[in-house]
Amino acid sequence: MARRLNIPGLVNLLEVSDASEIRQLDAEPNIDRHLAPAGGLINRLRLARLRQAFVFDGEPLPALLARETQGRESRHAELGRRLDERAEAAAWRQDPDFKTLVEAVAGQAEAEALGPAAQGLLGRLFHDDYHADRESYTAARLLNAYPRINVLRALGQRVTGRLGRARRLLAERARGEPLALHATGIAVHNLVASLAAMRELAASPQAHGLSLPAVMGRTLSAPETLVRRVRTPLSTPCAPRRLEPNDLVVLRLAEAARGSGDRDLAFMRQSWARCPAQGFILTLLTAVWEQAMEVRQGGRGA
C-alpha cells in the first residue's frame, strides 16, 4: 500500500500505511530520524516545520532523535521502567484529573475538560507540581498542529510570536525537561483523542456489550504519522522504485494500526522507536473506561 510521490527537486517521499510494510521499513537501518535540511524543496520545508516546532535549545524532542543518538536508548528504557512502576503503583488514580477524565468519558463533564486534565495527569508523572490549564493545553495543540497547517498560517504563527509563546509556556511548565515536554506537548494528543473516542463510544447503545479489547481497538489513537529519512540508497519491496538518500518516508501509523487492529503497532512496541508509555497508557485508559462505565450505570466510579 506504499504510495510514492516523486517530483525531482521538489518532493521525494514514500507514504506507507500497511502494518507489515511499516514494520519492515522501521526495521531498516538505513531509514532513520534526521531533521537536518536535505532533499527537495517540500522535503526541506517539512523538515523545517518539525525543527521549528520540536527542537528546544538546539536539541530535538526525544521522539525525533536519531536511533544512534547517544543516551537515547538508555533514557527511553529508564522512562519505560519508571512509567511501568507508576502504572502499577496507581497513585495517579487519586489525582483529581483522573476523576475529571472519568467524568468526561462518562458524559458527566464537558469534552473540553479532557485536554487539560490529561495534560496535567501526564505532567505530574514527571513533576509532582505540574500545572495544566486551558492555556497550556491550547499551547500544546498549537505546537502539535504546527507541522501540518498551511504555509500562511504557519508564517502567521511565527511572525506574531504565537508559536514562540506556546513553546515557551510548555517548556516552562515542563521545566525544560525534554521527556516531560514531549509527554505534555505531543503525546498528550493521542491520549486525548483516545479518551474522546471513548466518550463517544460510552454514549452509544452498544457500549456495555463491548469487551475491553474491542473498546481499545475502537478507541486507541496512534500518532497520525511518523517521519523518517533515507540515509543511503535502498531497494525495498515496499517501494516501487529504489529509495534515494534524503527521501522522506512517512509511516501512516494511525491508519495502519486501525486497519490491522494491532495495538502493539500503535505503540511501535517491537521497534527501536517504541513508545515507553505503552503500559502506562493502556492501564490508564482501561481504568478510565471501567470507571466511566460504572458511573454511567449509576455506580460510584472514580
Partner 1 sequence: MFGQRGSGLLGRLFRRINRRRQWYQFPFLIALVNLVALRGNLRWHNLYDTERERPPDPDKGDFDVRGCRTADGSYNDLAAPCMGKAYTRFGRNVPIAETFPETGEALMTPSPRVVSRRLMTRETFTPATTLNVLVPAWLQFMVHDWFSHGGNDTEATPYEIPLDEDDDWPWERMTVLRSRRDSTRGPADEGFPETFLNTETQWWDGSQIYGSSLKRQRLVRSDPESGELLPDGKLYLRPDGHLPRDEHGIELAGVNGNWWVGLSLMHTLFAREHNAIVDRLRIDHPDRDGEWLFQKARLINTALIAKIHTVEWTPALLDTPELRLGMRANWWGILDEHFYRSRGRVSDSELFSGIVGSPVDHHAAPYAITEEFSAVYRMHPLVPDDFDFRRLADDGPLKACGLTEVAGSQTHSLYDEVSLADALYSLGTSHPGALVLHNFPSHLQQHAKQAPHERTIDLASIDVLRDRERGVPRYCRFRRLIDMPAPASFAELTDNPEWQRELEAVYGDVEQVDLLTGCLAETPPPGFAFSDTAFRIFILMASRRLKSDRFFTDDYTPEVYTRAGMQWIDDNGLRTVIGRHFPELVPRMEGVRNVFFPWSREARPRE
Binding site for partner 1 (CB under 8 A): 1-5, 7, 18, 204-206, 208-211, 213-214, 217-218, 220, 240, 257-263
CA separation for the pair 40, 7 (Å, rounded): 8
Q: Which residues pair with 154 in a beta bridge?
A: none
The answer to whether 143 and 166 are in contact (CB under 8 A) is: yes
**Smallest distance from partner 1 to CB 1, Å:** 5
**Smallest distance from partner 1 to CB 243, Å:** 14
Q: Which is nearer to partner 1, 17 or 246 (CB)?
A: 17
**Smallest distance from partner 1 to CB 200, Å:** 11
**Smallest distance from partner 1 to CB 266, Å:** 9
Q: Which is nearer to partner 1, 125 or 195 (CB)?
A: 195
**Smallest distance from partner 1 to CB 207, Å:** 8
Q: Which is nearer to partner 1, 37 or 213 (CB)?
A: 213
> For the chain, how many residues are written?
302
Cell of 190: 493521542
Q: What Å distances lie between residue 148 and 40, 53, 154, 205, CA to CA?
A: 18, 11, 9, 35
Cell of 156: 502567521
Cell of 159: 511572525
Q: Which is nearer to partner 1, 80 or 261 (CB)?
A: 261
The answer to whether 14 and 30 are in contact (CB under 8 A) is: no
**Smallest distance from partner 1 to CB 232, Å:** 23
Interhelix angle 41-54/162-173, rounded to 10 degrees, is 40
**Smallest distance from partner 1 to CB 169, Å:** 35
CA separation for the pair 129, 7 (Å, rounded): 50
Q: Which residues pair with 15 in a beta bridge?
A: 3, 250
Q: What Å distances lie between residue 244 and 15, 175, 239, 272, CA to CA?
A: 14, 40, 11, 22
Per the listing, cell 460510552 goes with 202
